[in-house]
């Protein structure tokens, strides 16, 4: 989801990622697979996949449905050709085996006090000098 839902905090709009950034971030956080999807709530299951997904919420939902059916994040993302991505954590709820839960990884990291070193993934903006050639 492109916004944070942590109770008692203001909504945080997350920056869209390029596909390259999303792949790098998802690779760096694969160690979270097997962690509780929501801290202290076993019923929501464990993270079973961390993968690049479309940034737009409705497309994330569609990605989740494809993932639930195919169990392959690469195949589940084939429908999307847009420029904006995020990284999601996916879980199958313990009590509702037919459903799927997903959330933006950056929100998950913030809510679980896990560092996210965005300088690894975001290049600083290029300095511009107006019309002066450099």
When pLDDT is cut at 50, 70 and 90, the band that residue 17 belongs to is very high
Taking the C-alpha atoms of residue 51 and residue 11, their distance in angstroms, rounded to an integer, is 23
When pLDDT is cut at 50, 70 and 90, the band that residue 12 belongs to is low
In the chain, % of residues over pLDDT 70: 80
- The pLDDT assigned to 123 comes to 64
The domain locations on the chain are 19-120
When pLDDT is cut at 50, 70 and 90, the band that residue 131 belongs to is very low
CA distances from 74 to 34, 50, 52, 70, 115 (A): 20, 11, 9, 9, 26
Specify whether the backbone of 10 is left (phi greater than 0), alpha (psi in -120 to 50) or beta: beta
Closest CA to 23 of 80, 88, 75, 82: 88
Residues 70-121: tens digit of each pLDDT: 999 999 999 999 999 999 999 988 877 678 999 999 999 999 999 998 878 8
Q: What is the mean pLDDT of residues 21-39?
A: 94
| Residues in Cβ contact with 34 at an 8 Å cutoff, skipping those fewer than 6 apart | 46, 47
Residues 63-80: tens digit of each pLDDT: 999 999 999 999 999 999
């Amino acid at each position: 989801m492109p916004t944070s839902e942590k109770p008692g905090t203001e909504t945080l709009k997350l920056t869209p990622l390029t596909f390259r950034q999303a792949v790098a971030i998802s690779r760096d956080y694969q160690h979270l697979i097997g962690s509780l999807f929501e801290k202290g709530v076993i019923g929501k299951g464990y993270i079973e996949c961390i993968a690049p997904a479309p940034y737009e919420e409705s497309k994330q939902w569609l990605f989740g449905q494809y993932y639930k059916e195919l169990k392959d994040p690469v195949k589940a993302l084939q429908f999307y050709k847009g420029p904006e991505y995020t990284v999601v954590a996916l879980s199958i709820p313990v009590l509702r085996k037919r459903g799927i839960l997903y959330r933006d990884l950056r929100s998950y990291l913030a809510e679980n006090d896990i560092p996210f070193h965005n300088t690894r993934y975001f290049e600083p903006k290029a300095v511009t000098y107006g019309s002066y050639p450099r």
